Amino acid sequence: MIVGIGVDLVDVPRFEEQLARTPRLLPRLFAPAERVLKPRSLAARYAAKEALIKALGGSDGVYWTDIEVASEPSGRPVFALSGETADTIAARGITVLHLSMSHDAGLATAYVIAEAGTPTLPGDTA
């Protein structure tokens, strides 16, 4: 069952300017593996984290660096959650997080769908 949907849009040049003006934002917002990425990819990950918070209905128990956006071998983006954020999401009964991200024409966007209940595999009819 879908329990939350979140979306966010980031202006990439403006985001890049903010990172340049305030270098301490990088370690406050991103996991170590994310910090080496290009600004457009960081902007998409920032949008993904904001969209996740919106899908959860708020930021209580959620910490930015506990949310890492990783990639499956296919390139599909996925959340790699840790710490209190992982515990908070599990405590809310959320079993699946769907993530889609894109960046083009100076904008980065992300959509997140949070599901609760028993996870199912594609093709399951249960």
Q: From the annotation, which residues make up the binding site for Mg(2+)?
A: 8, 50
Inter-residue contact 113 to 97 (CB < 8 Å):
yes
Q: Please give the annotated binding residues, written as ranges.
A: 8, 50
| Other residues' Cβ atoms within 10 Å of the Cβ of residue 114 | 24
Written as six digits, the tokens of 51 are 């969209």
As a dihedral over the C-alpha atoms of residue 119, residue 73, residue 34, residue 90, rounded to 10 degrees, the angle is: 10
